[in-house]
Structures are given as C-alpha cells and as structure tokens.
Amino acid sequence: MSTVSKWALITGASSGLGVDFSHILARLGINLVIVARRQDRLEKLKETLKKEYNIKVEVIVMDLSNTGAGYELFDLLLLKEIRIDYLINNAGFGIYGQQVESDLSKIDEMMRLNMITLTELCHFFGKDMASRNGGRILNVASLASFQPCPGYASYAATKSYVLNFTQALGHELRDKNVTATALCPGLTETEFMEVAGQGLSIYSKFAIMKSFPVANAGIKAMFAGKQFVVPGFMNKFNVILLRLVPRSLYPKLVAYFLKE
C-alpha cells in the first residue's frame, strides 16, 4: 500500500509509544491526526513533526474514556473531510493494586478507554476502510493479554479483550483488504508505570524495553498484516513459557514475576 497522501489516526500520542508511532509514520510521509487530553504536549509534537517531516498534522484534544468518544472522534474527522487509512489505537492505562482495594470509578474509566472506545473506533473506521477496500488497524494490547495478572486483574483482562477482539476483527475483514494487528508489549519505558502506580520488580528491571523498538515492531507487523506481535526476546520467551505450564499455575507465576 503506498503511503503517499494517506492519513493515520494515533490515540494517546502525547507520551510514550504514541510519540514513537507518530515519528515512525510521519517519516513515511503519512499525515497524522494525534489525539490525547494534554494539549500542550500534542501541540509541541505537531510542531516537531511538521518541521522534521513536512506532513499535515491535526491535533484533537479529547478524553477518550467519555461515553460515545469513538463516535464523536469519527464524526469530527468526517466534518474535517479526513479519511483514515491507518488506525492506531494506543491510548490506554493500567491500575496496579488489589482489585477490591482499587477505586472502582477509575477502573470503569480504564475499561471504557481500553475496550469500549477502542471497539467504537475499530467499528466506525473499520467500516469506512472496508467500504474503500483498504486500511490497516493496529491495536495496542499487552503481554498481559496472554494471562491473568494478579495486581493488574482488570487491566490485564481489558488487554485480553483487545487481543481476542483484534484477531477476530482481522479475520472478519480479511476479504475487504483491511488488516487488524495487536501489538503485545511487555514492560516498556514510558509513563505507564507512573500512571499505574507500580514500582519495578527485579524481573522487569531486566526485561524492560525502550519504547521506540516496541513501537517499530508494531508498525512493521501492521504493514505485514500480522494478527499480533510480541516484541523482544524476553517477552516472546514469556509467552512460550506460559504454554508449557498448566493454566492453574498462571496467577502464582505472574504474581512472582511482578513482585517489587
């Protein structure tokens, strides 16, 4: 697929993986719609991208955990006459702690952002891409998608949803020349841990990855039309290891690796 005059929508572009996705796609000459809540960060990124890559950049400040945010964003881009060729559903956050001790309203917000808005955006943009017989979707899932994670009980479950949803969606859209790929990063150096309220475990100090190679693996997999990708040797090893042990051992094993 030629990238000339194409548009990508990147959610959660104000920090971490979202910034790297923006640079990687901008370098290919793809125009960008960047979305998050922190306007100052998005405006700064816009200036950098325009200067460095000579592309068009639209900033949209939106809280994507609001009810109906997916439709609102789709509608806004229709009004601006921007058709999206690459959808990068990256915005998301985790909450670390015991499920029953956590703030339920925060968990609700996380589930709406990580699952509901992502689903709405895939629905509306996926339909539009199918009608034009082409498009690519990249949904950011997690290594946590593959297992129950004590300490991240509901966050990990949202990411299992993202992985399963993405694979099924990709299969449904296969005859429409639209692909859906799930990126499943392990621990990555971004603001994620600070937002989640988690300290580094001994294992994660060893396994943590820089965000650029993680984002790059996601974009490469998206262009290759892969169903999912797990970046990094340690993360791949983790997924293979899990296949070798009984599922009943997963919670104990994961809790051990997450221990600070």
Backbone phi, psi, residue 182, to 5°: -105, 125
- Cα 114 from chain centroid (whole Å): 8
Nearest distance from C-beta of residue 15 to ligand NAP, angstroms: 4
The window from 7-15, 25-33, 50-58, 239-247 that contacts ligand NAP (CB under 6 A) reads 7-15
Q: Which is nearer to ligand NAP, 113 or 129 (CB)?
A: 113
Q: Does 126 bind ligand NAP (CB under 6 A)?
A: no
Q: Give the distance from CA 146 to its chain's centroid.
A: 15
* Pick 212 or 223: Cβ nearer ligand NAP: 212
Q: Is 91 in the site for ligand NAP (CB under 6 A)?
A: yes
Q: Which residues contact 54 (CB under 8 A, 6 or more apart)?
A: none
Choose which of 6, 18, 218, 230 interacts with ligand NAP (CB under 6 A).
Answer: 18
Strand, coil or helix: 16:
coil
In 3-state terms, the chain is what percent helix, strand and coil (to 5)?
55, 15, 30
Q: Which of 22, 119, 142, 198 binds ligand NAP (CB under 6 A)?
A: 142
* Beta partners for residue 9, in sequence order: 33, 87
Nearer to ligand NAP, 12 or 151 (CB): 12
CA 241/CA 175 separation, integer angstroms: 34
**Shortest Cβ 12–ligand NAP spacing (Å):** 3
Q: Which of residues 178-237 bind ligand NAP (CB under 6 A)?
A: 185, 187-188, 190-192, 195
Q: Is 111 in the site for ligand NAP (CB under 6 A)?
A: no
Closest contact distance (angstroms) between CB of 131 and ligand NAP is 27
Angle at which helix 17-27 crosses helix 39-53, to 10 degrees, equals: 20
Tell me the one-letter amino acid at 77: L
**Smallest distance from ligand NAP to CB 143, Å:** 6
Q: Is 12 in the site for ligand NAP (CB under 6 A)?
A: yes
Residue 15 found at the interface with ligand NAP (CB under 6 A): yes
Q: Which helix (H) or strand (E) holds 135?
A: strand 135-140
User: Token digits for 253?
Assistant: 């094993």
Question: In this structure, how many other beta carbons lie within 10 angstroms of the beta carbon of residue 175?
Answer: 9
Could you list the residues that contact ligand NAP (CB under 6 A)?
12-18, 36-38, 63-65, 90-94, 113, 140, 142, 185, 187-188, 190-192, 195
